[in-house]
Chains A and B, each alone.
Chain A
Amino acid sequence: MSERIKLVAYLAAIVAASWLTSPVWLAGGLLVTLVLCGRAGPRLLRQAVLATAAFSGTISLAYAGYVWWSLHRLPLDWLITVNLRVLLMALLTFLFITRVNLFQALSFSRRLSFLLVLAVSQSLVLKRTLAEFRLGLESRSLRPASLSARYRAAAHAIAWLLDRALANAHESAQAMQSRGVFK
């Protein structure tokens, strides 16, 4: 199956899952997706749970508490349906990330592929340098930095980030021009 067909299948599965309101269908969908995950199933399920736990957990606990306080019962239908749906859709996304090369899936548009490759590669480099900035600030003092020092550091990091991003854009443009990418 080509990457593009996999992308379309993923999007169709996400839309279909989002319409489901029956816990039985959602559980069935989750089971089928786990089978499709194969041996990576437990790892992907764990990733899906971790990625959604903060939001889903907060909302589920708050809603369960609210219904219990006002109606003296638990909203079990809602808790099961929504949490199954969230888990199914997150698992589908992690399966997509693992199995599909997004850069190839978007290869129907040469410029979109270039844009994605440039943005992602630059993002990863900038993110790593930013982490080094943070470690640098922490290493310069035995005590935690003051609020004003942290603000100044954040502002300088942002200015550096924008400066670096623009320099990268200039370099990439020159590289593309010299190689005749758009000819």
Chain B
Amino acid sequence: MHIPDGFIAPQMYLPLYAAAAAAWAYGAKRVGQELDESSLPWLAALTSASFVLSFIALPLPGGTSAHVTGVGLLAVVFGFWQAFMAASLVFAIQALLFGDGGITTLPLNALAMGFAGAMAARGLFLALRRFHIGLALFLAGWIGLALPALLIALALGAQPHIAASATGEPQYFPFGWEVTLPALLIPHALLGLGEGALTLLGWRLVERLRGRYQHV
């Protein structure tokens, strides 16, 4: 479920835009010194893959399903900056072309899921792969979902503290950390198990196809 515009106070999303803009500028530099005929289609392909990944339903016991973010898989297969730039572009396309999510929540999603999620997934994978690659991939997928959930819960729970009326009433998202942390962390810690399993399976299948890839 995407957070629509109107729940995040400008006191938070404007500074987040400044931080995200700096990360996007540096990320664009890292992905390709300047986008050229080889790096531009590459970034477009990653973006489209990331966009469509969000439509893949992850089956859960009991007949329900959750949707893959794919950030962990993208980070372990292609690298942190590529995953961050692709995820950011996906959020922008979803907001500006399909009206899904919000333009004011874009920097929060990009920094929490694309930046922190991808960085944690890539870091954990690199740190643990020498001990047990399967465990490293599983934990990378799990952290790629669980850490962004923690950061988004912290951001949402901060809203009543940073934007309240003179009488103390909230003006944007109404619940504090005592509600947002368990509400987001518990389900995402469980959903992360599925994302971890899929990161492991996705990696194994990509490994079989690795010979065809030029950039991996």
Chain A residues engaging chain B, CB cutoff 8 angstroms: 11, 14-15, 17-19, 21, 47-48, 51-52, 54-56, 58-59, 62-63, 66, 75, 77-78, 81-82, 85-86, 88-90, 93-94, 96-97, 102, 111, 114-116, 118-120, 122-123, 126-127, 130, 147, 150-152, 154-159, 161-173, 176-177, 181-182
Contacts and interface: CB of A to CB of B under 8 A. Distances in A.
A152 B56 CA distance: 12
A122 B44 contact: yes
Nearest to B49: A165
Contacts of B77: 162
Interface of B: 1-10, 13-14, 34-38, 40-49, 51-53, 55-59, 61, 68, 70, 73, 77, 89, 93, 95-100, 102-104, 165, 169-175, 197-198, 201-202, 204-206, 208-209, 212-215
Given A94-B99, A159-B205, A150 B59 contact: yes
Among A82, A158, A177, max chain B CB count under 10 A is at A158
Contacts of A168: 41, 44-45, 48
Nearest to A131: B55
16 contacts: A59-B7, A93-B96, A120-B97, A123-B52, A154-B58, A155-B204, A158-B53, A159-B206, A161-B56, A162-B202, A165-B46, A169-B44, A170-B214, A172-B41, A172-B44, A173-B40
Contacts of B103: 11, 14, 93
Among B1, B43, B99, B205, max chain A CB count under 10 A is at B99
B169 A78 contact: yes
Contacts of A176: 37, 40-41
Nearest to A62: B175
Contact of B174 (A14, A59, A114, A123): A59
A176 B170 CA distance: 52
A102 B175 contact: no
A147 B59 contact: yes
A24 to B, nearest CB: 15
Contact of B4 (A51, A111, A150, A182): A51
B3 A172 contact: no
The prevalent SS among residues of A at the interface is helix
Nearest to A158: B202
B198 A56 contact: no
A130 B52 contact: yes
A51 B37 contact: no
Contacts of B48: 118-120, 122-123, 126, 165, 168
Contacts of A48: 99
A176 B38 CA distance: 9
Given A75-B169, A123-B48, A127-B51, 6 more contacts: A14-B103, A75-B174, A89-B5, A102-B97, A115-B44, A119-B93
Contacts of A161: 49, 52-53, 56
Contacts of B45: 118, 122, 165-166, 168-169, 172
